[in-house]
Amino acid sequence: MAQSSEDILNDALSFLGGAPVIDDEIISYGPLKLTVAPKEGKANTLLADHLFSPSLLLAERIERGLIDLQGKTLIELGAGCSLPSLASCIISNSSNTPSLVVTSDYPDPIILRNLQRNVDRNRALVLPSCQLHCRGYEWGEDIQELLALLPSDNTAFEIVILSDLLHFDSSHDVLVKSLSLLLAKTTDARVYVAAGKYTLPEVCSSFLQKATESGFVLQEQIDEDRSRWLGTLPVSNLDSEALAVRKDNCRFWIGRWANV
């Protein structure tokens, strides 16, 4: 049975005793200052009005240099408040900086207004070697506007980030379609997928099966440090213990093309 947005939110919050992941008007991660979209319309039904734990997990990995970003082109789908994609061009090490970051979400005025404000609020912090763009994009639709942002010698993105999107099980087909169109068919192109453990295992398996059928190999990462927060930057009002709880409530996969 498909989960409604209310079911997903309640399941997510139940991991934290009913409390939001971060209950602050302004969410901070190191120098980053972010807001979530207002609880209105599509922002509510698509859960863009919350920050969920998988974004923190991905941001921590970016902070620690565990994702190879150097000189690469990156797009985040369903970005919400855009923590992972903004982290990649702001808190990553200067020797591990992407050349292009596109943060994208559903083309709804409320969602995109908040996304653009987060980009504008943090743009001065973007590392000079990186270009940053914000775009509306509905999964499964035409990608030409996104591809037009790439350098002339790139035909697709070298990194795709999917943070806490698997619970939208009715959208798996269009999500995999977009991934297939956007991820470059090169040996080092990667998709990074994070999901909260509140996403039903069978829902995750369904996405993985569809991705496999479309030519991807996704390997779940079982990190021995998964229950320890190893980032050093301050994150809102959360201490390392609270952050570790949120990190441990996530699953994480790294994917690539199978036959490239």
What are the tokens at 149?
Answer: 């942002």
Residue 94 domain boundaries: 5-257
Instruction: Say what the pLDDT of residue 16 is.
Output: 43
When pLDDT is averaged across residues 43-67 and rounded to a whole number, the result is 80
Q: Express each pLDDT in 92-129 by its tens digit.
A: 888 999 999 999 999 999 999 999 999 999 999 999 99
Q: Express each pLDDT in 167-205 by its tens digit.
A: 999 999 999 999 999 999 999 999 999 999 989 999 999
Q: How far apart are CA 101 and CA 115, in angstroms?
A: 13
Q: What is the pTM of this model?
A: 0.90
- Domain of 104, CATH number, reads 3.40.50.150
Contact call for residues 135 and 142 (beta carbons, < 8 A)? no
Instruction: Say what the pLDDT of residue 14 is.
Output: 43
Instruction: Say what the pLDDT of residue 36 is.
Output: 87
The total number of structural domains that make up the chain: 1
When pLDDT is averaged across residues 41-55 and rounded to a whole number, the result is 62
Is the pLDDT assigned to residue 8 strictly greater than 50?
no
Q: Express each pLDDT in 133-169 by its tens digit.
A: 999 999 999 999 999 999 999 999 999 999 999 999 9
Q: Are strands 73-77 and 131-136 parallel, antiparallel or unpaired?
A: unpaired
DSSP secondary structure code for residue 123 in this structure: G
Instruction: Say what the pLDDT of residue 61 is.
Output: 96
